[in-house]
Amino acid sequence: MKYNPNVLDCAAAPIAEAWSWVKNPASENLIDMCQAVPAHLPPQSLRDYLGDAIKAGEGATYTDIRGIPPLREALAGNISERYQGTVSEEDILITAGCNQAFCSVIDTLCAEGDEVIVPLPCYFNHQMWLTARGVVPRYLSFNAETAMPDANEARSLIGENTRAILLVTPNNPSGAIYSPECIRQFFELAREHEIALIIDETYRDFIDINQVPHHLFVDSGWRDTLVHLYSFSKVFSLTGFRTGAVVAGQAMLEQLKKIQDCTAICAPHAGQLAAVYGLQNLHAWKLEKSAELAQRAIAIKQAFEHPDLRYRLISAGAYFAYIEHPFDAPARDVVKRLIEDHEIVSLPGSYFGRDQERFIRFAYANVHERHFDDLISRLIASQPSRGYSNE
């Protein structure tokens, strides 16, 4: 058989490759900071509700392409309150996770050869899908001091084939939280050039609940420019249920429904039921888990202040910490050595786009802060002056 050359050019699944370097996955000594997964199951009340619903026959059928009305209504209310703006159920389409949301949006906006502006470092699945579809990423350089993309640089990259600007905030992989001012600059730039601003906000529930992430939903014309992506996987620990959402204007959603009908048909019904329950009943539980993650972010920042540590913390937030390593070596080699010699499982920066060989990513959400001292000790032991050489 002959294969699509775009797929052949696409990188292999990064998580699986990193775990292939682990000699003993069952080792109790492993510090697993590889994949962004919640540290806990959904609460018992959600599991009990869903079990009863499935036993009663709910969740076994197709739903409307857009998703079940109670979920779209609940999410519209949640977004309107969180962002102090105006979103209706008609602005929402439920997807099979946020990855499918992104893929469907790209397929709706872009033909092969079109371009999307992507800040570095970038989420590897976004990069993989653009490659597989023959869509050209135009990268914004990474500022390791601010961890923020530059809208002025983006302006210089916009051409006749540009279809969208992509932001991920809180960012995967860096953990950086883009300021409302930064997001507004990109929104105005996208609106000026009549292209989409795609914002993946999968991790927006793990930042300060008292702060509005941005004010774009207040703008009466947001539907002409903004495409908001969301996931229920992390906030309610529903990673296996594959439930996400696209929030956009009617013109966008009418075209996106064609893609949805040809791929997922609809998001998993059981996952939609679970998401409705979460939005309606788990606000206090969500705040508790968010507070735990906020404390973990503080703890990892403090841990990296160790005077003997030559690994430098660039940014941290939500689920992630982005680290500059001290070696004159490819990030992939550094990560393999950390796995083989020190049983720390992470991901190399090279998985997150070009010019990232100096960095590695730690996903700390499922690692309790009591393990951070051990983590730092192992990192210090790995450093060139005390461990293996840079060669």
Residues 218 and 80: their CA atoms lie apart, in Å, by 9
> Residue 384 — very low, low, confident or very high, per pLDDT cuts 50/70/90?
confident
> Residue 208 — very low, low, confident or very high, per pLDDT cuts 50/70/90?
confident
pLDDT in the model for residue 391 = 39
Residues 224 and 183: their CA atoms lie apart, in Å, by 16
Counting beta carbons within 10 angstroms of the beta carbon of residue 99, is it exposed (0 to 12), middle (13 to 18) or buried (19 or more)?
Answer: buried
Average pLDDT over residues 9-33: 91
Residues 32 and 260: their CA atoms lie apart, in Å, by 34
Indicate where the chain has its CATH 3.40.640.10 domain(s).
Answer: 44-281
Strands 344-345 and 31-32: parallel
Count of CB atoms situated within 10 Å of the CB of 362: 27
Encode pLDDT of 256-294 as tens digits: 999 999 999 999 999 999 999 999 999 999 999 999 999
Count of CB atoms situated within 10 Å of the CB of 217: 21
Check: CB of residue 337 under 8 Å from CB of residue 382. Answer: yes
Average pLDDT over residues 360-377: 95
Count of CB atoms situated within 10 Å of the CB of 381: 11
Count of CB atoms situated within 10 Å of the CB of 193: 14
For the chain, percent of residues with pLDDT exceeding 90: 92
Indicate where the chain has its CATH 3.90.1150.10 domain(s).
Answer: 5-41+285-382
So what CATH class is 44-281? alpha beta
Q: Which residues contact 380 (CB under 8 A, 6 or more apart)?
A: 306, 308, 309, 310, 386
Check: CB of residue 244 under 8 Å from CB of residue 232. Answer: yes
Check: CB of residue 246 under 8 Å from CB of residue 93. Answer: yes
Check: CB of residue 124 under 8 Å from CB of residue 13. Answer: no
Residue 390 scores a pLDDT above 50: no
DSSP lists the bridge partners of residue 165 as 117, 197
CATH 3.90.1150.10 for domain 5-41+285-382, yes or no, is yes
Encode pLDDT of 22-47 as tens digits: 999 889 999 999 998 888 999 999 99
pLDDT in the model for residue 11 = 84
